[in-house]
């Protein structure tokens, strides 16, 4: 993996090394994939103003996440079926994250079980929970996470009904799989992947198989799982979960200010602003579009995490400047896992810390008082760690116009910055973060 320079390189290598059905499962979104595309495109619309000649000799990415030290403001998000991207994929991803000094989140729908990972790593990890109709099973699953010393519970709240993923249907992505001649040929041309998966501990949902009566058979397991997602899940169920789980609770899948306000009243320590990577409600806004107003409303009440479309260090800069405390990544490290196992994940995650200078602080400044349209400006200016202060967003409107050499269509203030995307008023904020030198 010597010549890997960016996430897209890992994606292309992943595509070559893993059967199409499993690559597409990680790579694609729901329906027409409008929201999937918007996650990345809206991030790219936010541009930076570069400033120079400020002392950057002292800099760090270190931060805290939920009160715990982290080497950088980055979390490996829950991703289902990692063990089908690479044998024992969840274990290797967790090891890579812990070596990099950042949290790893195991999915309920993982191949390795909670116990498999706990036995294979030295430090606590996070566990993500889908609430199913069988509350007895969910209670036991939470208790297993407690026994494994998981340090946070990530409750996904946007999957009561699964979004239709057209590519999964075309690929016959089922458990057990639908076999065809083309699929057999695809598998046969991936001998390293086949060998790795066959040597893995499991090839089914490790957290479910054997823990629910009658799910030892793959077909019955699939039928049980498909019938279990609970469409009646509501806010009152969070109280029930909190009565069992004694630790830190994170609600993942918040995309609306009113929901954020309700989430803040549950006693959760954090929320993740997320649209499930564009895999659920197609046509929903991008995560970055809604982040500032959610930060405005509840940023002082709980920790705000961001998820959706991040592929570079610059993307993390954008999210932090708009008020997120940390960011989750899913596809980006899944590509690394499929491309090269633990080394592939490490190539992704640790390169955020290893990338060569310059490392920039991101500053969002208030617009010129002569501007008729208030808007974000991002200045890539180098600021020593002592100058870092938290972001604080203010009022906002949702204009999506682009203005060059100024902050508004009638602005008399000439500026070298290019402003794109949502317009907001903000106080000055700075965040230390790597540039994307090593991640394209």
Indicate which residues carry an active-site annotation.
Answer: 276
CB-CB contact of 252 with 271 (8 Å): yes
* CA neighbor of 126 nearest in space, from 150, 145, 108: 150
Q: How many CB atoms lie within 10 A of CB 180?
A: 11
What DSSP string describes 389-408?
B---EEEE------EESSSS
Backbone angles phi, psi at 397, to 5 degrees: -125, 175
* CA neighbor of 155 nearest in space, from 266, 75, 251: 251
Residues 6+ apart with CB under 8 A from 297: 257, 260, 261
Residues 6+ apart with CB under 8 A from 205: 109, 110, 111, 175, 221, 225
* CA neighbor of 134 nearest in space, from 242, 204, 221, 230: 230
d(CA 257, CA 237): 20
| Radius of gyration of the chain from its Cα atoms, rounded to whole angstroms | 22
Task: Locate 124 and state its tokens.
Answer: 């606590």
d(CA 367, CA 426): 8
């Amino acid at each position: 993996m010597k010549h890997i320079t960016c996430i897209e390189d890992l994606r292309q290598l992943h595509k070559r090394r893993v059967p199409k059905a499993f690559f597409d499962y990680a790579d694609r979104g729901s329906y027409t994939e409008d929201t999937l595309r918007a996650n990345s495109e809206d991030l790219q619309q936010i541009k930076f103003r570069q400033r120079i000649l400020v002392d950057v000799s002292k800099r760090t990415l270190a931060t805290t996440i939920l009160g715990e030290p982290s080497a950088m403001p980055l979390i490996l998000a829950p991703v289902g079926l990692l063990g089908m991207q690479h044998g024992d994929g969840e274990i290797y991803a967790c090891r890579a994250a812990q070596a990099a000094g950042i949290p790893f989140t195991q999915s309920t729908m993982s191949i390795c079980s909670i116990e498999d990972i706990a036995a294979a790593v030295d430090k606590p990890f996070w566990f993500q929970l889908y609430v199913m109709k069988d509350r007895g099973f969910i209670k036991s699953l939470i208790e297993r996470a407690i026994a494994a010393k998981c340090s946070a519970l990530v409750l996904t709240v946007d999957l009561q009904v699964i979004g239709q993923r057209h590519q999964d249907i075309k690929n016959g992505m089922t458990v057990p799989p639908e076999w065809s001649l083309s699929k057999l040929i695809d598998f046969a041309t991936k001998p390293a992947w086949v060998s790795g998966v066959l040597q893995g501990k499991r090839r089914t949902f490790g957290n479910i198989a054997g823990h629910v009566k009658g799910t030892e058979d793959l077909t019955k397991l699939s039928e049980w799982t498909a019938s279990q997602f609970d469409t009646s899940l509501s806010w009152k169920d969070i109280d029930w979960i909190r009565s069992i789980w004694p630790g830190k609770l994170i609600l993942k899948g918040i995309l609306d200010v009113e929901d954020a306000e309700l989430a803040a009243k549950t006693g959760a320590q954090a929320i993740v602003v997320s649209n499930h990577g564009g895999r659920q409600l197609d046509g929903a806004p991008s995560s970055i579009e809604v982040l500032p107003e959610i930060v405005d409303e509840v940023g002082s009440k709980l920790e705000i995490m961001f998820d959706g479309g991040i592929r570079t260090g610059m993307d993390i800069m954008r999210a932090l400047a708009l008020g997120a405390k940390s960011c989750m990544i899913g596809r980006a490290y899944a590509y690394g896992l499929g491309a090269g196992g633990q080394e592939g994940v490490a190539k992704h995650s640790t390169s955020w810390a290893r990338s060569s200078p310059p490392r920039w602080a991101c500053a969002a400044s208030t617009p010129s008082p002569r501007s008729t349209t208030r808007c974000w400006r991002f200045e890539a200016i180098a600021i020593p760690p002592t100058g870092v202060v938290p972001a604080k967003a203010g009022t906002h409107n949702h204009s999506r116009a682009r203005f060059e050499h100024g902050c508004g269509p009638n602005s008399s203030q000439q500026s070298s910055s290019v402003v794109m995307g949502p317009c907001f008023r903000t106080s000055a904020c700075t965040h230390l973060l790597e540039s994307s030198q090593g991640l394209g």
